[in-house]
Amino acid sequence: MTLFPAPKPLAAFAFTDHENRVFDLSRLRGKWSFLFFGYTHCPDICPTTLATLARAHEDIAKSKAGAKDVQFVFISVDPNRDTAGKLRQYVTYFDAAFLGVTGDNAQLGNLAGQLGAAYQLAITPGIENYPVYHTTAVFLVDPRARYHAVFAPPLDAEGISRRFKVLRELEGPEAT
Amino acid sequence: MRWRDPALVGLILALAPIAAASEEAGVSVRDAWVRETPRGVAMTAGYMVLQNKTSRPQVLVAARSSGFETVTIHRTIAKEGMTGMEHAPQIELLPNASLLFAPGGYHLMLSNPKRTLRAGDRVDITLEFRGGLVLPVAYEVRK
**Which one of A37, A44, A108 would you mutate to disrupt binding with B, by most B Cβ within 10 Å of its Cβ?**
A44
Q: Which domain holds residue B87?
A: 6-142
Q: Catalogue the long-range contacts made by A83-92 (C-beta closer than 8 Å, 24 or more residues apart).
A: A84/A16, A84/A17, A84/A18, A84/A19, A84/A20, A85/A18, A86/A40, A86/B40, A87/A17, A87/A18, A87/A40, A88/A18, A88/A19, A89/B38, A89/B39, A89/B40, A89/B41, A90/A40, A90/B38, A90/B41, A91/A18, A91/A50, A92/A18, A92/B38
Chain A residues inside the 8 Å CB shell of B104: 44-45, 48, 153-154
- Would B50 be classed as within a structural domain? yes
Give pLDDT tens digits for B59-103.
Answer: 999 999 999 999 999 999 998 889 999 999 999 999 999 999 999
This prediction's pTM = 0.89
Query: How many other CB atoms sit within 10 Å of the CB of residue A149?
Result: 19
Confidence band of B7 (pLDDT split at 50, 70, 90): low
- ipTM, two decimals, is 0.88
CATH number of the domain that B99 lies in?
A: 2.60.40.1890
- What is the distance in angstroms between the Cα of B36 and the nearest Cα belonging to chain A? 10
Q: Is B115 exposed, middle or buried (0-12, 13-18, 19+ CB in 10 A)?
A: exposed
Mutate which: B34, B35, B70, B82, vs A, most A CBs within 10 A: B82
Task: Give the Cα separation of A104 and B85 in Å (integer).
Answer: 23
Residues of chain A where predicted confidence (pLDDT) is lower than 50: none
B85 located within any domain: yes
Residue B94 lies in a domain: yes
Annotated domain spans of chain A: 29-169
Number of domains, chain B = 1
CB burial class (10 A; 0-12, 13-18, 19+) of residue A84?
Answer: middle
The answer to whether B86 faces chain A, any CB pair under 8 Å, is yes
CATH number of A29-169: 3.40.30.10
| B106 vs A contacts (CB less than 8 Å) | none
Q: Is residue B1 part of a domain?
A: no
Chain A residues with CB inside 8 Å of B82's CB?
118-120, 133-136
Distance, CA of A98 to chain centre = 9
